[in-house]
Amino acid sequence: MTYTAAFDVGTTQVKAVLVDDQGSARVCASSGFLPIDTGDGRIEQNPEDWLQAFIEMSRDLLSRAGRSIEHFKSDQVTGIIMSGQMQDLIALDAQGQPVGPAILYADGRAEEESAELAEIYGVESFRTHVGNPCDGSLPVTKLMWMSRHQPDRYAQVRHVLIDAKDYLIWWLTGAYCGDVTACSTAGAMDLRSRTWRRDILKAAGLDAAIFPKLCWPWESVGSSTPGASAATGFAPGTTVYAGMGDAGASTLGGGVFHSGQFNINLGTSGWIATVTDRAVTDRPGMVNLAYLGTDSIINTVPFLNAGNVHAWATGVFAGGSPTKGDDDPYQRMGHLLESSPAGARGVICLPYLVGERFPMMNPSIRGAYVGISPETEACDLARAALEGVSYSIRQGLDLMGTPIERVTLIGGGTREPQWCQMLADILDAPVQVLDDAHLMPAVALAQLVSVGKQTSSSSQPDLQALEELVEANLVGRVYSPDDANRHVYDVGYNRFRRLYPALDSLR
């Protein structure tokens, strides 16, 4: 038996899972929380923190495997593949060492530079080629910012990487590369040809030579060096694959291969992802990413308000003094949700606590309740908050314009069964909450390796076989819509859609 070690290099922690050739997760491990520097409006991380967490999780994973898998040896791990946070600016010097901290995806400091690039290159031309708007969070515009505001640092840059995992791949193999999904967020990759657009880089005043080699997720990009193997415990020469940016890996792990299949992430913020054969560039807020083939594009809707609303409502309505036998505020929140009927007795919540990106882009809008009456109770306000997020997700799906075939759910919000049922009712579609959803992106990448072993490292794997393997491992509870709630939620949704236009003028 051989195994693939798969990793997810996130903003908050590094997760690892060992997957066998049948696509089953055998052992997993997670790091402690990673530090983030948010001082002075920055959002940065030290790449060395990713590396130390990766080394620790590699050794922990192998140690756990040795204890739980009979006769396990480290040389049975024949492949390493990773997903990671995308849209980062990771600047390296000639020796591959970080030139200062990585500037993360959520850091939008380069608004002036993005406006300048859009003017030089053309707003519509940029969107047509890149598939996404030009803004200050793109690595290309942040590199322009660095050249102007940190010229000494910029002068040392010889390599640029876009995804946190790619720094670890360089450390493992010495290869400077990036997968086409993650590099879709760089601001200079042609979404159709999957090549760097030198005309964009020229307009930005950047050298194309510093950008990484573009690879498909299944491509072998090198092997673990003796030094890296000594640090991690993996055998020297272990194959390392290009892997995939986190949104792509989550889409794959959610079983999304065709139009009509959707994956919804209920993290602190969240996203809706589906797959079509074209970039959707006429709807503000949508992000388009390269996927598994030249005619396969992820259309994703990132939204700012999801689990943060759940946490806020739990703290406000269920965060009081614990009662005997009920000391978990999230458990109390569940009881509150059960106590309010569908529709929250007529209360509607606009859940935009921190502005919103979709279904409208408005960083200044804030949340509100409408419809409070003498009959309104705390449980109704709690329920209305999560119904508001669910209505917003429905509005996003409506704007995407694709009929729902299947919905899979991931993220911390899936631990609240009342919310999952609410989504099924409001979307009027079955939703499946995947077991071990936090591991599914990494597991799906390991499954990609398993299928890819049947072809050469550079050839596209059998995507039908991959789909069948991923589908076979989509295990989890299915919530079916309750027909009794359809009318009340249709009425509530129509009211919700009128709420934002009415309240926006009150800012």
What are 241-290's pLDDT values in tens digits?
A: 999 999 999 999 999 999 999 999 888 888 899 999 999 888 777 899 99
Q: What pLDDT score was predicted for residue 504?
A: 81
CATH number attached to the domain at 3-242: 3.30.420.40
Tell me the CATH class for 307-400+500-504. alpha beta
The two counts, helices (H) then strands (E), for the chain are 17, 24
Q: What pLDDT score was predicted for residue 355?
A: 84
Gyration radius (Cα) of the chain, Å? 23
- pLDDT surpassing 80 at residue 323: no
Domain-by-domain residue ranges, the chain? 3-242, 307-400+500-504
- pLDDT surpassing 80 at residue 6: yes
- pLDDT surpassing 80 at residue 454: no
Q: What pLDDT score was predicted for residue 320?
A: 63
Average pLDDT of span 147-173: 98
- pLDDT surpassing 70 at residue 322: no
Average pLDDT of span 437-460: 83
What share of the chain has pLDDT > 70, as a percent? 98
Q: What pLDDT score was predicted for residue 290?
A: 97
- pLDDT surpassing 60 at residue 324: no
- pLDDT surpassing 80 at residue 358: no
Q: State phi, psi for 478 to the nearest 5 degrees.
A: -105, 125
Cα 354 from Cα 348, distance rounded (Å) = 18
Using one digit for the tens of pLDDT, what is the confidence trace for 285-305?
Answer: 789 999 998 889 999 988 889
Q: Between helices 307-317 and 329-339, what is the axis angle to 10°?
A: 90
Average pLDDT of span 382-403: 93
307-400+500-504 matches 3-242 in CATH topology: yes
Cα 194 from Cα 216, distance rounded (Å) = 9
Least confident of 23-37, 145-159, 246-260, 358-372: 358-372
Q: State phi, psi for 364 to the nearest 5 degrees.
A: -95, -20
> H or E element: which one contains 289?
strand 287-290
pTM of full prediction above 0.85: yes
What share of the chain has pLDDT > 90, as a percent? 78
User: Predicted confidence band at 439 (pLDDT cuts at 50, 70, 90)?
Assistant: confident
Q: What pLDDT score was predicted for residue 507?
A: 61
Cross-strand bridge partners of residue 461: none
User: Predicted confidence band at 458 (pLDDT cuts at 50, 70, 90)?
Assistant: low
Average pLDDT of span 98-105: 96
User: Predicted confidence band at 326 (pLDDT cuts at 50, 70, 90)?
Assistant: low
CA angle 52, 58, 61 (to 5 degrees): 135
